[in-house]
Amino acid sequence: MTRMKRGRGMAASWYGIARTATIDRAGAWAELDDGGTAKVVTGVTEIGEGILTVLAQIAADELGIKPQDVTIGDNDTARSPEAAHAGATRQTYMIGNSVALASREAQKALFEQIAEHWDVPFESLRAFDGEIWALDTNLRMSMSDAVATCKKRGVVPVGAASFTAHGTGLDPVDGSGSPWQAYVFGTQVAEVEVDTWTGEVQVLGIWAAHDVGRAINPRGVEGQIEGGVVQGLGQALMEDYQTDKGHAITHGFAKYILPTSLDIPQINCTIVEDPDPKSPLRAKGIGEPALVPTAPAIMNAIYDAIGVRIKSLPATPEKILKALRDHVPGREHIAQAAREARAQAARTNSANA
Amino acid sequence: MSKLKIEAEVNGRKITRETEPHKRLLDFLRDDLNLTGTKEGCGAGECGTCSVFVDGKLVKSCLMPVAKASGARIETIEGLATPGELTPMQRAFHKTGASQCGYCIPGMVMAATSALRENPAADIEEIKERLGGNICRCTGYTKIFEAVEMARSVIAGDLPETVLEEDKVGDSYIGANVRRLDAPAKVSGRLKYAADMKLPDMLQMQVLRSPHAHARILSIDTSEAEAMDGVACVITSDDVPGTDGFGVFVHDQPIMARGKVRHVGEAVAAVAAEDLVTARRALSKIKVEYEELPGLFDPEDALKPGAPVIHDYAPGNVVKHIPVRKGDIDAGFAAADIVLEDDFSTQQVEHAYLEPEAGIAYVDPDDVVVVISPSQNITHHRHMLAEIIAKPINKVRFIMSPVGGGFGGKEDMIYQGMLALAAMKTHRPVQLNFTREESLIASAKRHPSRVHYKMGLKWNGRITAIEFNMLSDGGAYGMSSEGVMRKAAILSCGPYEVDNLKVDTTAVYTNNTPSGAFRTFGGMQAQFATESMMDMAAEALDMDPFEIRRLNMMKIGAKTHTQQTLETASLDRVLDAAETASRWETGAPNVRGAKRGDLNGPDTRKPCTLGARIKAETKSKNDAERVA
Ligand code: FES
Ligand code: FES
């Protein structure tokens, strides 16, 4: 028997965006500021996922300036509007949309003044990357000049907005309800190599395809997928917080094993964009969903490689070796029955549903 | 205490300092020199966040006594580039998006810099090997590898320096790979996390934690600790002025144990003192008398009649049960050609954010109680703390400091209340920084789960019925258990339209470390079981795993398990995308690994000769002296 055995497995998944089975909400303020810069203030932002940059991109795009010219004021319950919490794959969706709406308000205040100043229809105005212009004219100026003009006319271009996601609670008896207004789906394929002597599993490749609605920053989306995959891999193969009568026996990183650079598969991301019809940005989210299919895809791949199914995570070398020893060949007889039944159905041409 | 004189060269400048001899090089850099780019992720040589150069060699400064560094040439993250500039390595990290929370990043940049100093031509395998002593919990390492390879090629002149610059934008910033705006602060070590902040006149807090899983507190005597020189205050649950209790869904957890302890590591009392050493000493002077109670350590035991009761309000030990019903389960199974039944379980998992919990509280001149911490939910924490300290809500202010990784684990207000109480009692700023061990035993984990699963299918692969029953150990406090059970129930049977189903998810109290919010909030535990069952069904029915999923998948107009009608659904597209990208060879999942033709493509990595984990473990043991 060859020692090293390879196999592949896949798993699909789904996930809801923003808070579950409740109304979710987030607020933001925006101001087009001197020099064609902007201040955007909102309640909660970065926990590492890159949301600050995403919000700056959104504000910049809506206002017609550059992301690096956006200053985000955030994370202070006494100085910024409520945006609730950093979790539930809700930041791009909830806060992103509220920043977009607040920025639109601020831009509208500016555009109204510039339209009058240039004597052009409001609708003809466009702004991008620090410039404002009127369609079908030669009128064009920097956003810096536009803000100065607006202020000379007595108006500070500010906006405020709140964004709502309408989830409903679940019925206490049958659980019926509409917990989210936006869903995402994902699929991952894993390729593994199992050392049948030691029980070690190496994940060599992951192909991760995830719907994110609309990728505001594709590289950031990849970063979320890669991080999620590796956390899923850790849970699949090694991580295990153990207690004995309530006392932790994995009380440091020497005992609690985490994935390191040597455990990392090549991660191949495919971003799928199925725009959300219910929000101005049409983006959804990726933070949590990226992790969901990884562990089952790896377990399915282990099965493909060595014919043992690990149903109890993590698939440690000890478990793999034990499973290999206890292995009883699987479901061949059922598969045979299924083949026969289908062949029979095909012969009699009767519907089999 | 006698002082130790340290003379060294730090980032190109000679320094002479008197310091305490017990200090590690890490403490000396952070506390005495304010070089807080060097982080303490574990204090035990296992994470690499404290990596610096000593005489040109990469070392973990948490393992080196400061005395050993005397006379040495030390280089920290702050010294790699002149202030305001970034090295090509740092710029490459910026360009590729290699920093997420940023907490591991200074150490990672040091290790990466060391790798290229040791071997400017290092290939990817060597780079991985040389980064093996540095943990990153956020990025999945992939963008870090990309950054190091990019920096290597730029430094070697194989790539033009312009690759480090931002990509040109088209006609919209939506969809553009704008470089992370916070990356320069992270790759240079300039960003201050809560543990890096210092306020004038600040006290240090330490927490006395329960050694028992379940015990009644008979008495707490703090008098001796309080009388100690340098101790500013000792607090217990008696100091709570308002309604004690916090939690994401049910407010069942006191700021510090009240009457009894429910898990090992639960806070019982806390000391604020002039310095850390005094605070630690004072802890040993607090006398707590306990009466041990029978403990619950298995969720199944928690449901047995006569089981010990953990919380009086929940005599059956159930935190939350969520039922979902749809269709007629009996009819569904009766219509099935085959029925598969099995059990699945998942373990408790630690978030292992590289930044341990840390925070500062103070009372501002307008009597506002201010808490600075990497809290993932400042809004809710403000509400809860206002009740606990009996203040109007505008007299409580939460500031979210840069979060060095959260993943749900920083949603629970497990220490901010203690900080607030001590600040109110002393009217001085108070800081608490958890050790890694403390973080591990006191913070919530991913819910472990046991799922009993029954799935009925037609020979053609169509699912006719699913029965799904999950039992989860919520541990000692409710935290996010209710929400986790809800999400697990809603997502349970996966992205498939199932006409007949019966789903139950239940979380119970035990005396184990509490379970709480963790990235996917119950979604992965549930779908691990479902996706395993789908493959087992596919094998039994001799179908390709993509095919059986396509046959059952939710489409636009599908009714979800909670009977919501979907207006959009993209599973068809992600299935196609993954199948195409992976060059998937069609076939039933019947152990065909040996016969597959789609393995070992250019989009996979090479296997390591040794088991990767074995290698990583042995390496971290002798990493202190390792030359990278
Ligand atoms: S703090 Fe030194 S290795 Fe973790
Ligand atoms: S970026 Fe590495 S631990 Fe967060």
Q: Return the CATH number at B152.
A: 1.10.150.120
Q: What percentage of chain A has pLDDT greater than the value 70?
A: 95
* Alpha-carbon dihedral angle through residues B152, B156, B158, B163, given to the nearest 10 degrees: 60
Element (H, E) at B277: helix B276-283
Nearest residue in chain A measured CA to CA from B171: A128
Q: Which residues contact B281 (CB under 8 A, 6 or more apart)?
A: B228
Helix axes B545-552, B571-581, angle to 10 degrees: 170
**Tokens read off for B251:** 């407010």
Q: Which of B400, B567, B617 sits opposite A277 (nearest CB)?
A: B567
- Which two tokens mark A160? 């405020």
Element (H, E) at A152: helix A143-152
| A75, A238, A353 member nearest B399 (Cβ) | A75
Backbone angles phi, psi at A181, to 5 degrees: -100, -10
Residues with Cβ < 8 Å from B192, sequence gap 6 or more? Answer: B36, B401, B402
How many Å separate Cα B63 from the centre of its chain?
24
Q: How many CB atoms lie within 10 A of CB A282?
A: 16
B135 C-alpha to center of ligand 2: Å? 8
- Integer angstrom CA distances of residue A26 from A163, A223, A309, B247: 5, 25, 44, 21
Interchain contact, B378 vs A43, CB within 8 Å: yes
CA geometry: angle B164, B168, B170, nearest 5 deg: 155
Residue entry with tokens 């934690």: B209
Is A288 considered catalytic here?
yes
Task: State the distance from the centre of ligand 1 to the C-alpha of B411, rounded, in angstroms.
Answer: 25
Asked whether residue B156 is assigned to any structural domain, the reply reads yes
Task: Please give the full DSSP string across B559-598, using - where no structure is assigned.
Answer: B-TT-PBPS---HHHHHHHHHHHTTPPP---SS-GGG-SS
Nearest to B492 by CA among B457, B458, B534, B462: B534
Give the residue, by CA position, lying nearest to ligand 2 atom 2. Answer: B136
The answer to whether the CB of B95 falls within 8 A of the CB of B179 is: yes
What's the pLDDT tens digit per position in A103-140?
999 999 999 999 999 999 999 999 999 999 999 999 99
Phi, psi of B259 (to 5 degrees): 85, -40
Instruction: Give chain A's radius of gyration (CA, Å).
Output: 27
CB atoms B172 and A175 under 8 Å: no
Residue B487 lies in a domain: no
Ligand minimally distant from the alpha carbon of residue B193: 2
- Residue B28's closest CA among B16, B12, B46? B16
B chain contacts of residue A11, beta-carbon cutoff 8 Å: 527, 531, 534-535
Residue A329 pLDDT level (bands cut at 50, 70, 90): low
Cβ(B589) to ligand 1 under 6 A? Answer: no
Q: How far is the CA of B25 from the centre of ligand 1 (A)?
A: 11
Has residue B85 been placed in a domain?
yes
Q: Do B377 and A200 touch (CB under 8 A)?
A: no
- Report chain A residues whose CB lies below 8 A from the CB of B344: 311-312
CA angle centred on A85, ends A79 and A91, rounded to 5° = 100
Report if residue B150 sits inside a domain.
yes
Instruction: List the beta bridge partners of residue B349.
Output: B446
Cα–Cα distance between A175 and B288 in angstroms, integer? 46
Domain total in chain B = 1
Domain range for residue B99? 80-166+183-191
In a domain, B600, yes or no: no
Contact A11 B44 (CB under 8 A): no
Among the listed residues B454, B461, B424, B439, the one whose alpha carbon sits nearest the alpha carbon of residue B544: B461
Alpha-carbon gap, residue B375 to B587, rounded angstroms: 48
For the CA of B42, the nearest atom of ligand 1: 4
Query: Mind giving me the DSSP string for A26-44?
Result: EEEEEEEEGGGEEEEEES-
How far does A33 lie from chain B, in Å, by closest CA?
Answer: 19
Whose CA is closest to atom 3 on ligand 1? Answer: B45
Angle (nearest 5°) at CA B455 between B452 and B459: 155
A253/B46 CB distance under 8 A = yes
A222-255 as b/e: b if 16+ CB within 10 A: bbbbbbbbbbbbbbbbbbbbebeebbbebbbbee
Q: Which of A193, A200, A239, A288 is catalytic?
A: A288
Residue the block writes with tokens 């629970």: B412
Instruction: Indicate yes or no: CB of A277 within 8 angstroms of CB of B176.
Output: no
* Domain presence at residue B245: no
**For residue B613, what are the contacts with CB-CB under 8 A and spacing of at least 6?**
A200, A237, A238, A257, A262, A263
Residue B408 pLDDT: 97
Angle CA B465–B466–B467, to nearest 5: 130
**Which pLDDT belongs to residue B547?**
98
Closest ligand relative to B101 C-alpha? 2
Any domain includes B415: no
Put simply, the answer to whether B536 touches A223 (Cβ < 8 Å) is no
In angstroms, what separates the C-alpha of B405 from chain A's closest C-alpha?
6
Please tell me which of the candidates A66, A220, A232 has its beta carbon nearest to residue B97: A220
Burial class (CB in 10 A: 0-12, 13-18, 19+), B12: exposed
Band (pLDDT 50/70/90 cuts) for residue A30 is: very high
Instruction: Answer whether A170 sits within 8 Å of B402, measured CB to CB.
Output: no
Summarize the confidence of residues A202-226 as an average pLDDT.
98
Domains of chain A by start residue, with CATH: 4-16+180-326 (3.30.365.10), 19-164 (3.30.365.10)
B47 lines ligand 1 (CB under 6 A): yes
Q: What kind and span of H or E run contains B618?
A: helix B612-621
The series of mean pLDDT values per 10 residues for chain B, 628 residues long, is 93 97 97 98 98 98 97 98 96 98 98 98 96 98 98 98 96 98 98 98 98 98 98 98 97 98 98 98 98 98 98 98 98 98 98 98 98 97 98 98 98 98 98 98 98 98 98 98 98 98 98 98 98 97 98 98 98 98 98 97 86 40 38
Q: Which of A43, A48, A219 sits opposite B138 (nearest CB)?
A: A48
Which residues of chain B neighbour A179 with C-beta distances below 8 Å? 486, 490, 562, 564
pTM of structure: 0.96
Pairing of strands B445-446, B430-433: unpaired
Encoding tokens for residue B41? 């992720």
Residue B158 inside a domain? The answer is yes
Please, which contacts does A346-352 make with residues 24 or more away whose CB atoms are closer than 8 Å? A352/B458, A352/B459, A352/B460
Rounded to the nearest angstrom, the distance between the alpha carbon of A348 and the centre of ligand 2 is 61
Chain B CA closest to residue A214: B175
The full DSSP string for B179-230 is: PPTTHHHHHTT----GGG---TT-EEEEEEE-S-SSEEEEEEE-HHHHTSTT
**To the nearest whole angstrom, how far is the Cα of B193 from the nearest Cα of chain A?**
12
pLDDT for res B609: 64
Give the separation between CA A33 and CA B213, rounded to whole angstroms.
Answer: 56
Residue of chain B whose Cα is closest to the Cα of A175: B324
Provide the shortest C-alpha distance from residue A107 to chain B (in Å): 16
